[in-house]
């Protein structure tokens, strides 16, 4: 009797050990595939974000007003442009990623060119915001001196706007093919050049914000030209077949997906922008805005790894859905969320330990440093939540859920988070800490909803929708429908 009761137990134990071993093996393989894209994507994001961060750091050593002006221009005005351009460009993550997974490489270059057309026209419209920055900021209640200085700086930064229009489609085009290491090297070279030029123009030649604008524009233009040269030199022969008039076909459908992507990401990015604007309405706006922009700067630095994972999971999910491998897409989501949470928890621990020391990197003003130290707890909570949220946004982009997530963002950020921030910050007089607490409420709610949606997703159904999407977005009046051959085989 003993033998018969023990044997099944041992068998179950062996099965459990085998299942555990299989999971660890599959997780290790998935980690390597994710880091193959995420590693260079993290570096690319760090290097490209550092361009404006370096400029803001140099501006902080010019003066407090200059720091606030560059900070509010960078996070509000450039934030509007960056959010729209990156959002509209992220439509390529869905289309290029799923086309690549389905083996339709010839359409990637066409998609990128369509995105260039759309983003260039969008840039022309957004340039009006750059031109009228000063009156817009004053209308929103910002300090006149800060608004006027930010307005001048904003006009000088218009060339950067069109750099975004070319850069983001290139990024998504190369990411879909996992050609991210070249972008990382080019971004690194651009950053090194930018640091040197910023030191010369801002510190040595004492050109102030004019020097800051010259160096930042030049660095972005140099980066964009380098990436274009990389593509045109033949590094993506199957995906890039030259400029084509097909870039001007099927634009209406492409615009719809681009706008949905932009709305989704802009509502997330502008949530932080609103916090900066509300900080400008508090007493001592120079201190509040300066502290808030430094914290946002630190958060953006800390978010480089999740943003890299966002790119990686978008590529993995879109590629796997395009290839019809639903289970692999789901497994990839689980692994990337686990990695992001672990890494961000370590970063938060470091921030809490150094909360009285790290503000000196950005400013010499003691009052601003003290305010930043007080805000570190709120900053840490945001980073922990954001270890999951951007990754799930990447899943949404890879799967093509942009419209759904846009509605979620409206509810969480602007119906729940923003009113809560206003009440806590102004009605109950908790100041910047209250404003940030309200924003955290919106982020927490959004993260929870995205977790539930991702967990309950029917990935087999998403794989079928991916094939249908290729039929819709890949067709035009002059070319065969993308995926028609695949559809016939079905």
Output the CA–CA distances (angstroms, integers) from residue 327 to 87, 193, 302, 306, 339, in the order listed.
27, 44, 31, 22, 19
Q: Which two tokens stand for residue 377?
A: 């707890």
**What SS3 state is found at 405?**
helix
367-397 burial by CB neighbour count: b if 16+ within 10 A, else e?
ebbebbbebbebbbbbbbbbbbbbbbbbbbb
Q: What's the sign of the alpha-carbon dihedral 326, 332, 335, 336?
A: negative
> 121-157: per-residue pLDDT in tens?
999 999 999 999 999 888 877 778 888 888 889 999 9
CA pair distance 126, 88, nearest whole angstrom: 13
User: What is the reported pLDDT for 474?
Assistant: 53
User: What is the reported pLDDT for 190?
Assistant: 93
CA pair distance 443, 449, nearest whole angstrom: 10
User: What is the reported pLDDT for 466?
Assistant: 67
Return the residue matching tokens 């960078």. 74
**C-beta separation of 40 from 284 below 8 A:** no
User: What is the reported pLDDT for 2?
Assistant: 43
Q: What is the DSSP secondary-structure string of 245-298?
A: GGGGSSHHHHHHHHHHHHHHHHHHHHHHHHHHHHHTTSSSHHHHHHHHHHHHHH
The ranges of the chain with pLDDT < 70 are 1-21, 269, 398, 400, 466-490
CA pair distance 432, 421, nearest whole angstrom: 9
Output the CA–CA distances (angstroms, integers) from residue 319 to 39, 96, 143, 265, 329, in the order listed.
18, 9, 48, 21, 8
> 163-183: per-residue pLDDT in tens?
999 998 998 888 888 788 889
**C-beta separation of 370 from 357 below 8 A:** no
**What SS3 state is found at 241?**
coil
User: What is the reported pLDDT for 96?
Assistant: 80
User: What is the reported pLDDT for 472?
Assistant: 59
CA pair distance 146, 487, nearest whole angstrom: 58
Q: Which two tokens stand for residue 282?
A: 């508090």
CA pair distance 45, 41, nearest whole angstrom: 6
**C-beta separation of 201 from 258 below 8 A:** no
Of 114, 239, 85, 113, nearest to 174 by C-alpha is 239
The conformation of residue 242, written as its DSSP 8-state character, comes to: -
CA pair distance 296, 316, nearest whole angstrom: 29
Of the CA atoms within 13 Å of residue 477, those in its CB half-sphere come to 6
CA pair distance 405, 226, nearest whole angstrom: 34
């Amino acid at each position: 009797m003993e033998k018969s009761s023990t044997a099944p137990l041992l068998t179950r134990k062996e099965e459990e050990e085998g299942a555990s071993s299989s999971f660890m093996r599959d997780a290790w393989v998935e980690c390597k595939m994710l880091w193959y894209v995420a590693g260079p994507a993290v570096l690319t994001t760090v290097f490209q974000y550092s361009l404006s961060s370096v400029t803001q750091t140099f501006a902080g050593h010019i003066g407090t007003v200059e720091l606030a002006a560059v900070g509010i221009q960078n996070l509000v005005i450039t934030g509007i442009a960056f959010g729209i351009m990156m959002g509209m460009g992220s439509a390529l993550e869905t289309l290029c990623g799923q086309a690549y997974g389905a083996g339709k490489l010839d359409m990637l270059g066409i998609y990128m060119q369509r995105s260039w057309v759309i983003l260039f026209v969008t840039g022309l419209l957004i340039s009006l915001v750059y031109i009228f920055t000063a009156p817009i900021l004053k209308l929103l209640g910002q300090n006149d001196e800060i608004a006027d200085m930010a307005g001048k700086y904003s006009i000088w930064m218009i060339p950067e706007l069109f750099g975004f229009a070319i850069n983001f489609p290139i990024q998504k085009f190369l990411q879909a093919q996992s050609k991210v290491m070249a972008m990382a090297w080019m971004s690194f070279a651009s950053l090194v050049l930018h640091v040197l030029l910023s030191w010369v123009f801002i510190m040595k030649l004492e050109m102030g914000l004019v020097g800051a604008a010259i160096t930042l524009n030049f660095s972005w233009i140099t980066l964009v030209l380098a990436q274009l040269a990389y593509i045109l030199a033949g590094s993506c022969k199957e995906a890039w077949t030259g400029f084509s008039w097909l870039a001007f076909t099927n634009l209406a459908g492409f615009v719809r997906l681009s706008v949905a992507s932009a709305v989704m990401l802009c509502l997330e990015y502008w949530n932080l922008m609103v916090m900066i604007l509300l900080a400008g309405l508090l007493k001592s706006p120079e201190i509040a805005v300066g502290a808030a922009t430094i914290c946002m700067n630190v958060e953006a630095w800390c978010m480089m790894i999740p943003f890299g994972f966002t790119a990686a999971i978008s590529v993995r999910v879109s590629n796997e859905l395009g290839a019809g491998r639903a289970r692999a897409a789901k497994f990839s989501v689980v692994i990337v969320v686990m990695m992001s949470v672990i890494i961000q928890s370590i970063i938060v621990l470091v921030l809490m330990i150094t909360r009285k020391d790290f503000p000196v990197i950005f400013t010499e003003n003691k009052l601003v440093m003290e305010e930043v130290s007080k805000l570190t707890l709120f900053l840490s909570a945001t980073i922990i939540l954001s270890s999951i949220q951007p990754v799930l946004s990447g899943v949404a982009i890879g799967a093509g859920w942009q419209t759904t997530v846009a509605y979620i963002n409206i509810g969480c950020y602007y119906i729940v988070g923003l009113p809560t921030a206003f009440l806590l910050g102004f009605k109950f007089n908790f100041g910047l800490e209250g404003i940030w607490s309200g924003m955290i409420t919106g982020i927490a709610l959004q993260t929870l909803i995205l977790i539930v949606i991702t967990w309950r997703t029917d990935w087999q159904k998403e794989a079928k929708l991916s094939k249908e999407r290729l039929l819709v977005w890949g067709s035009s009046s002059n070319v065969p429908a993308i995926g028609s051959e695949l559809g016939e085989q079905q």
